[in-house]
Amino acid sequence: MSEISVLSPASVANVVCGFDCLGFALSAPCDEMTVRIIEKKTVRIVNRDDFNLPTKPEKNVAGAALLSMLRATDENFGFEVEITKHIKPGSGIGSSAASAAGAVVAANELLDERFSKLELVKFAMDGEQVASGARHADNVAPCVFGGFTLVRSINPIDVIRLDFQPMFVTVVHPQIEVKTSEARKILPKQVSLTDAVRQWSNVGALVSGLQKGDYELISRSLEDFIVEPVRKNLIPKFDEIKNESLRAGALGGGISGSGPSVFMLSETSVTAQKVKNAMRGIYSKTAIDFNIYVTEINAEGVKILDS
């Protein structure tokens, strides 16, 4: 087999209380990617969209991830990756992670699954770092593993795939760009012990709620005392979006990754649609362009397409 095509999904990182550790993959949108073997030990990027992303492999998240993978082999060939992005860069739903994870999963298939999923997460994280300026795996892990993941440690890498109940996800994307690197600069350098205790209690409770299918516990745990208070100022109408979504019946939610997208989890698709209407009602009264969709947690992650 000399080429592999994949669909690589968007993802929601942090999941409110789990900054840099929790994340889940979304059923839509997905990027389309094809990776093929080329003779030279290098990585070639072919962009098939209008986002004008870098084509120098070391400056491109898919390219950097593949270079990292190539460094771990003694092969003399390289990879060409053709990318059609449907996940807008800077949207907060893991656009860079989709490129990085999709590239390494496809390349690994070409290498007869030489690398483990954990190794793929490490390569993808090297790509993700190009975009966000920091090493975090909370978007790439759910893309590679599928479903809902907890990154217990990045060094050494340790990813736990969590059980989860079916849930519907409403995502609103106001059409402004928030760069993850910028959104990380405004984060507090220190947190109080009181906030830390509240935060890690919520992470534990959320994981337990997911495991048990206890929607009320999931709802109570979706609180963030550390990141949301500073980042919400980057997102127009954040408080209103959140309050009205909860009134419409959402279990909870907040900033998706580093924003500007906001996500809400709901138990049923009917509620998720109500949440969508509530969100639309708020942004329609502003001059902000936006799009909203209802989707689900994607248990599979990067999907390898039949050739």
- Give the residue carrying structure tokens 């405004």: 186
Find the shortest distance in angstroms from Cβ 137 to ligand HSE: 9
Please, where are the H alpha helices in the chain?
61-71, 95-110, 117-132, 140-145, 180-185, 193-212, 215-221, 228-231, 238-247, 269-284
* Sole binder of ligand HSE in the list 13, 25, 62, 151 (CB under 6 A): 13
Does 39 participate in catalysis according to the annotation? no
Nearest CB to ligand HSE, comparing residues 19 and 263: 19
Question: Is position 14 an interface residue for ligand HSE (rule: CB under 6 A)?
Answer: yes
Q: Which of 170, 180, 271, 295 is catalytic?
A: 180
Question: Is position 20 an interface residue for ligand HSE (rule: CB under 6 A)?
Answer: yes
**Can you say how many angstroms the Cα of residue 123 is from the centroid of all Cα atoms in its chain?**
16
Nearest CB to ligand HSE, comparing residues 63 and 257: 257
**Can you say how many angstroms the Cα of residue 31 is from the centroid of all Cα atoms in its chain?**
12
Question: Is position 32 an interface residue for ligand HSE (rule: CB under 6 A)?
Answer: no
Question: Is position 257 an interface residue for ligand HSE (rule: CB under 6 A)?
Answer: yes
**Tokens describing residue 91:** 């949207």
DSSP letter assigned to residue 57: G
Binding mask 106-135 for ligand HSE (x = CB under 6 A): --------------------------x---
- The answer to whether the beta carbons of residues 130 and 179 sit under 8 Å apart is no
Q: Which of 109, 128, 228, 244 is catalytic?
A: 128
* Sole binder of ligand HSE in the list 180, 219, 245, 295 (CB under 6 A): 180
Amino acid (1-letter code) at residue 287: A
Distance CA 30, CA 8 (A): 5
Does 42 participate in catalysis according to the annotation? no
Amino acid (1-letter code) at residue 9: P
DSSP letter assigned to residue 232: G
Segment interacting with ligand HSE (CB under 6 A) among 28-36, 38-46, 168-176, 180-188: 180-188
Compute the residue count for the chain: 307
Active site residues: 128, 180
Binding positions for ligand HSE, rule: CB under 6 A: 13-14, 19-20, 94, 132, 136, 138-139, 180, 183-184, 257-258
